[in-house]
Amino acid sequence: MSQSVRLGPVEGEIDAGPAVSSDDDGLPTPLIEVAGVLAKIEWVHKTGSIKDRLARYLLEVSIRSGVLRPGMRIVEASSGNTGISLAYYGRKMGFPVTIVMPEHMSCERIELLRALGADLILCSKEGSFAEAAQIRDAMEAADPNVFNPNQFSNPLNVECHQLTTAQELIAQAGVKIDAFVAGVGTGGTLIGVGRALRQLWPDTVIVAVEPLEAAVMSQGQIGPHSIFGIGDGFIPDIASNGSGGLNEIIDEVVTVSSEEALDAAKWLHETHHLGAGTSSGANFLAAKKIQDRYPVVATVFADGAFKYRSCGLRVCVAGECRFPESCAKSILPLLCGEVAGAVGLG
């Protein structure tokens, strides 16, 4: 951990407040306080990440509007989490799913996609997301029965978090949130939550997080990193101003190295029995870096350690998990041939 960052004890869990959904899909997700930072625990969703919100919302709205119709195939470019969520909800709703993903994503993500029945196309590490998106777009152009969720540009991504994640956070916190911090993959969480907070508190500061090794928003170097789910080497449309710059709602950008993010995730597990993934570690550390300037800082722990065990992260064992009822709803252990309940996701 960075020597300049103050870490402290867990202060406790905050009352969940009114539920936004009652469909047994883990909503509202818990809000806890860790070392003075408010964090929503998003790994308690069915497939273990915040992307379940997006997949379910986007598909349901697209079906109602007639954009997604019976007989169509869902095809998306994903680093893993959106693909896993789309595979689960897409197949549940009766659609075949194809995911295009860079080959260097964690082996757990690849295994989960295959276990969920998705067709998987791996593109090169060098081509990364640009290549994955090109393959997806070519498939869409060649087949009118391909539905492209287009997560990096789809306004439903922002709308989803503005109407769900943000509303839960506001209700659960019960106080003004002075700064909101989130890593940018698609930018949907940051911009969606940010818009809702700004409507309520116009001076709330919105802080983007990106890998130090791929600091495109900070105009730094662009290279490989291991904070999966953020820092794809370009500014997504949702987080852009349309002219090469950042969305006007973004006030600051904080960089976190892959090593720092991994160390932070390990610290959260070892100190507080929180099975956080690498992007969750990055969000937490970024929040700590700005905490001395803002009384109340909030973030999301976007996914857990389950998909990153090959990277050295550990999940909580039975009896150690802080959210046993929520984590028991996850499909991840069963997909991996493990005994549900023997593995706590958080």
What residues does each domain of the chain span? 10-46+156-344, 51-147
Q: What local confidence, expressed as pLDDT, does residue 311 receive?
A: 81
Q: What local confidence, expressed as pLDDT, does residue 37 receive?
A: 98
182 in Cβ contact with 169 (< 8 Å): no
Looking at domain 51-147, which of 3.90.180.10, 3.20.20.70, 3.30.930.10, 3.40.50.1100 is its CATH number?
A: 3.40.50.1100
The architecture CATH gives domain 10-46+156-344 = 3-Layer(aba) Sandwich (3.40)
Residues of the chain short of pLDDT 50, as ranges, are 1-23, 339-344
Q: What local confidence, expressed as pLDDT, does residue 274 receive?
A: 93
Q: What local confidence, expressed as pLDDT, does residue 27 receive?
A: 75
65 in Cβ contact with 77 (< 8 Å): no
Q: What local confidence, expressed as pLDDT, does residue 5 receive?
A: 40
Q: What local confidence, expressed as pLDDT, does residue 337 receive?
A: 54
| Active-site amino acid positions | 51, 279
Q: What local confidence, expressed as pLDDT, does residue 202 receive?
A: 98
Q: What local confidence, expressed as pLDDT, does residue 15 receive?
A: 40
Strand partners, 38: 33, 298
Q: What local confidence, expressed as pLDDT, does residue 108 receive?
A: 78
Q: What local confidence, expressed as pLDDT, does residue 22 receive?
A: 37
Task: Label each residue of 27-92 as H, E or C.
Answer: CCCCEEEECCEEEEECCCCCCCECHHHHHHHHHHHHHHHCCCCCCCEEEEECCCHHHHHHHHHHHH
> Are the folds of 10-46+156-344 and 51-147 the same?
yes
